[in-house]
Amino acid sequence: MATTALTGFSMMSLLSLGYLTWDLMSPNQVENEPEQSFVDRSPVPQPPHIIFIMTDDQGFNDIGYHSSDIRTPALDKLAADGVKLENYYIQPICTPSRSQFITGRYQIHTGLQHSIIRPRQPNCLPFDQVTLPQRLQELGYSTHMVGKWHLGFYKKECLPTRRGFDTYFGSLTGSVNYYTYDSCDGPGLCGFDLHEGESVAWGQRGKYSTHLYTQRVRKILATHEPQSQPLFIFLSFQAVHTPLQSPREYIYPYRGLENVARRKYAAMVSAVDEAVHNITYALRKYGYYQNSVIIFSTDNGGQPLSGGSNWPLRGRKGTYWEGGVRGLGFVHSPLIRKKRKVSKALVHITDWYPTLVGLAGGNESLTEGVDGYDVWEAISEGKESPRLEILHNIDPLYNHARSGSLQKGYGIWNTAVQASIRAGDWKLLTGDPGYGDWTPPQMLPGFPADWWNLERHTEPRKSVWLFNITGDPYERLDLSEQRPDVVKELLARLVYYNRTAVPVRYPSEDIRADPHLNGGAWVPWVGDEEEDSWDSVYRKKNKDWKKKLKLSKSRSFFRRLNTRIMSNRI
């Protein structure tokens, strides 16, 4: 369990949520009668069924209770009757958020602190990490995953069914066609990507993925006996990631939206809303609901170029501004003690690991070493969050800011390195945080994509920003020059975390992954007996990283890569 916090902060003790059996006096036992051993044969409360629903690229402004142009009545109702998480943080892109949810650990502790896992990279979630579903299996849960994996698949040992899930149905890569399930990693490098367990699900082509995944979840609920074994379902929707595809009936209600991308995007959100409604209905129908916990979360900020909106937050997907890392989230459950609340408790995506293990009846020994905190009491009872700070990330391979230096970091930290941390009310960013404009909801029909690079530069290039994020959630007032004392303290925290970081895992792409060499599908291509020999594992202490980077000898590669990330084509 994580225990690190800024000096001077008081730490709350973390309590594991367990289930107690009491020794009671028998009603027929006389007070003076000799004591006899007594076994309580009353039913032991079963741990709750856990349904974790994650959407892809859904922005802060892309839900009914935050937005005026997208209608999500089912999500709004669940959130209103539960607890809305309005101080909830995720990661700016897909792989990091999923890895932190599955392991409860920051990226710097899994080697996945740079970019995403691309389809042809011989990389996946490190094998030494005990995953959340594995812990839940140990605690007696039946575990199932439906949807987008995006945590690597170069070996069979990387697959969801080898990392804690009893069953899996979904796509392994980061983006697929919603009907054909074709996934491309460059011109001519396309393959089929829909899997049933460890086999390719060729027969499902043509069915809209949001509907298909919902049907699978309802089938799991219908065939499982809720009283016999607790259930964990991780539903990782492909929606609302590009490509923007939706059945016509969902587009029609948004015919008044002039922006075509926003119109299609809104339709995809409505399809997700309907899916969540149908899953909630199934939970009630089949007897799960009264002992269930439903958690809703997005994986990163929205992409305005593709119809998403994070307004009024700054930035977008792929950035460390609030628009990239502050997520949509809520918890709905009959087990919540104080319902219909808006929670300002600080919560991070790594916190779900210890929180859910605690709900499942596990003790703190099962979450030793994770970076998350058990936040159930903060959510259910409105208590103060045990979390006081969040390391958003330290990425030593991202483009170094030309204006950054060790000198500008007061000799404590090289501000050319992309990093971000929040502690209490304060948030610090160094290096290049990414596109940092404020983008209102799109009203115009469209305009050239290159216009998105015309970010307003109203001040000289910087490499350090400091915000009081509680008082200034839109990051409009940079206080780095007024409060150098806070800057130095947070830079020291970055140094502390960086000392605990493991080497970056970002190997070169492997030509053997080409779907044309593997029957036309994206499947594991390396034998489990074959040893890993990554010639491009980069260590944080390597100061001459630009020369050692075998992935490319050119800065232009990074510009192209970052463009792809920002334009949401991964």
Residue 38 has pLDDT above 50, yes or no: no
Instruction: Report pLDDT for 563.
Output: 40
**Residues marked as catalytic:** 94, 150
Domains of the chain (ranges, CATH numbers): 48-390 (3.40.720.10), 391-441+453-503 (3.30.1120.10)
pLDDT confidence of 440, banded at 50, 70, 90?
confident
Residue 14 has pLDDT above 80, yes or no: no
Residue 553 has pLDDT above 60, yes or no: no
Report how far apart, in Å, the C-alpha atoms of 89 and of each of 225, 294, 298, 465, 560 are: 34, 18, 10, 19, 28
DSSP-assigned letter for residue 72: -
Instruction: Report pLDDT for 458.
Output: 42
What three-state secondary structure class fits 429? strand
Residue 306 has pLDDT above 50, yes or no: yes
Report how far apart, in Å, the C-alpha atoms of 342 and of each of 411, 471, 518, 555 are: 41, 17, 49, 45
Instruction: Report pLDDT for 533.
Output: 61
321-347 pLDDT tens trace: 999 999 999 999 999 999 999 999 999
Instruction: Report pLDDT for 305.
Output: 87
**Residue 83's beta-bridge partner residues?**
331, 341
Let me know: does 300 contact 292? Beta carbons within 8 Å: no
Peptide bond into 243 cis (omega under 30): yes
Residue 34 has pLDDT above 90, yes or no: no
Instruction: Report pLDDT for 406.
Output: 96
Let me know: does 253 contact 263? Beta carbons within 8 Å: no
Instruction: Report pLDDT for 530.
Output: 79
Let me know: does 347 contact 463? Beta carbons within 8 Å: no
The rounded distance, in Å, linking the Cα atoms of 339 and 283 is: 19
521-535 pLDDT tens trace: 999 999 877 777 654
pLDDT confidence of 555, banded at 50, 70, 90?
very low
- Mean pLDDT is lowest, of 74-88, 328-342, 399-413, 538-552, for 538-552
Residue 519 has pLDDT above 50, yes or no: yes
pLDDT, averaged across the chain: 86
Determine the average pLDDT of the residues in 199-211. 96
- Mean pLDDT is lowest, of 214-218, 418-422, 502-506, 551-555, for 551-555
Per DSSP, the chain holds a count of helices (H) and strands (E) of 12, 20
390-410 pLDDT tens trace: 999 999 999 999 999 999 999
Residue 24 has pLDDT above 90, yes or no: no
